[in-house]
């Protein structure tokens, strides 16, 4: 893999750390700023909504910039947002800093995916995307635990100072390592919108929402499941979640390798695996060893879906990939929000916490149905092209 991909990976690590580390620092932030825990929790929601809105908006309004220039500009925005968080005098300023940083998130992964695929041959494009997203998965294994420890030891602002420093390193790496001539064409927003409206692109976005919605419907409530159902003490949750992070890394790389060979088969197979793991986790989470294994498998199945989902949208957005790619990152975050909402609904107004994994499994099952429809449409398109060729002969 080209060394330029590692610049994208470092940036992904910084972005992934700032997205998730706040979850481990909510008590410290709430106590320091004098707000409730639920208000501090809105810092997570605000970031996710910022990604959802910012990904297509930023991509659409910056489409005429060369891709390397855009990636560097996005990392500058990321650094400014985290710096604002580090020096925030109050809750409102911290929220603004989080939203500013989130605006770099979706557009970076969207445009970064396009750049990553342009750096390698066609048969390695999904693996290139997977390598970039490895930064996001490693953030969950190393960045988030270290950032949480740093914030607990030296105050939550220290964590944002550290993330700001990583962002500066990522900015420098992008400037030094990513070739200048990426993309080579100016974006046409009207064309990008027309591409986004293609039925196959819309189906790809729907698969992303449903597939990743299932992940977060269960993962958002993994801590109470492990403590209230599996019977683990609260102190055991963080070490167990390290297995989830390791599973993310393995699943992400495996999904990329398999998607390079057979994209749709990998996409559907990974969602089948995700649904099966969620159901199995629901059946066995009363047993501690089975729960630990289930958490690791959940991580693997979750991120095995990411490279094929992103690659499917890029494949169907030929000719104008920037907006569609960023919209797919927004779709991942919409799935996160929708899945967390569905899990909460199941707990508060449904059968309860024990049923969350089963309800979560319904989302990737629906995603499989959408994928099969999309795959069938591929077959019809291929048949139509073959018929046209026969007639031409």
Q: In angstroms, rounded to a whole number, what is the distance separating the alpha carbons of residues 250 and 386?
A: 39
The CATH code of the domain at 188-393 is: 1.20.1250.20
Residue 31 has pLDDT above 60, yes or no: yes
Whether pLDDT at 382 is above 80: no
> Does the structure show a pLDDT above 70 at 305?
yes
Give the residue from 320, 314, 285, 75 showing the smallest Cα distance to 186.
320
For the chain, where do the domains classified as CATH 1.20.1250.20 start and end?
A: 1-186, 188-393
Contact (CB, 8 A) for 52 and 334: yes
95 falls in which pLDDT band (50, 70, 90)? very high
CATH number of 1-186: 1.20.1250.20
User: pLDDT value at position 227?
Assistant: 85
Residues 209-232, mean pLDDT to the nearest whole number: 87
Q: How confident is the model at residue 49 (pLDDT cuts 50, 70, 90)?
A: confident
pLDDT at 390: 46
157 vs 130: which has the higher pLDDT: 157
Residue reference for tokens 């929220």: 95
Categorize the per-residue pLDDT at 183 as very low, low, confident or very high, splitting at 50, 70 and 90.
Answer: very low
Most confident of 104-118, 181-195, 354-368: 354-368
312-350: pLDDT as tens digits? 988 888 776 777 877 888 888 888 878 888 888 888 888
Q: For 283-293, how does the pLDDT look when each residue is reduced to its tens digit (9 = 90+)?
A: 999 999 999 99
Per-residue pLDDT, averaged over 288-308, amounts to 92
Q: What angle do CA 106, 143, 136 make, to 5 degrees?
A: 35
């Amino acid at each position: 893999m080209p060394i330029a991909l590692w610049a994208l990976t470092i940036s992904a690590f910084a972005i992934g750390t700032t997205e998730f580390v706040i979850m481990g620092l909510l008590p410290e932030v709430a106590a320091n700023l004098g707000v409730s825990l639920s208000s501090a929790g809105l810092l997570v929601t605000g970031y996710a909504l910022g990604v959802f809105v910012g990904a297509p908006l930023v991509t659409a309004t910056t489409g005429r910039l060369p891709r390397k220039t855009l990636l560097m500009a996005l990392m500058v925005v990321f650094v400014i947002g985290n710096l604002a968080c580090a020096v925030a005098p109050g809750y409102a300023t911290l929220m603004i800093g989080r939203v500013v940083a989130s605006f770099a998130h979706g557009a970076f992964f969207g445009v970064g995916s396009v750049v990553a695929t342009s750096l390698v041959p066609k048969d390695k494009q999904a693996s290139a995307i997977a390598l970039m997203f490895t930064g996001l998965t490693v953030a969950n294994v190393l960045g988030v635990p270290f950032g949480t420890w740093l914030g607990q030891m030296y105050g939550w602002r220290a964590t944002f100072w550290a993330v700001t420093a990583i962002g500066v390193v990522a900015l420098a790496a992008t400037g030094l390592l990513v070739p200048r001539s990426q993309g080579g064409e100016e974006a046409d927003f009207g064309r990008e919108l027309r591409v986004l409206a293609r039925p196959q692109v819309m189906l790809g976005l729907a698969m992303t929402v449903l597939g990743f919605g299932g992940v977060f419907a269960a993962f958002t409530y993994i801590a109470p499941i492990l403590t209230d159902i599996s019977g683990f003490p609260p102190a055991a949750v963080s070490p167990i979640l390290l297995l989830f992070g390791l599973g993310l890394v393995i699943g992400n790389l495996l999904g990329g390798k398999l998607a390079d060979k057979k994209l749709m088969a990998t996409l559907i197979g990974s969602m089948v695996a995700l649904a099966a793991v969620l159901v199995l986790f629901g059946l066995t989470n009363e047993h501690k060893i089975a729960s630990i294994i289930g958490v690791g498998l959940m991580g693997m199945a979750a991120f095995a879906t990411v490279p094929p989902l992103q690659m499917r949208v890029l494949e169907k957005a030929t000719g104008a990939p920037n907006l569609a790619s960023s919209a797919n990152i927004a779709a991942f975050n919409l799935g996160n929000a929708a899945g967390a909402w569905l899990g909460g609904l199941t707990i508060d107004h449904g059968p309860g916490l024990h049923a969350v994994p089963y309800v979560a499994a319904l989302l990737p099952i629906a995603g499989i149905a959408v994928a099969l429809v999309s795959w069938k449409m591929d077959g019809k398109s291929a048949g139509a092209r073959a018929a046209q060729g026969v007639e031409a002969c």
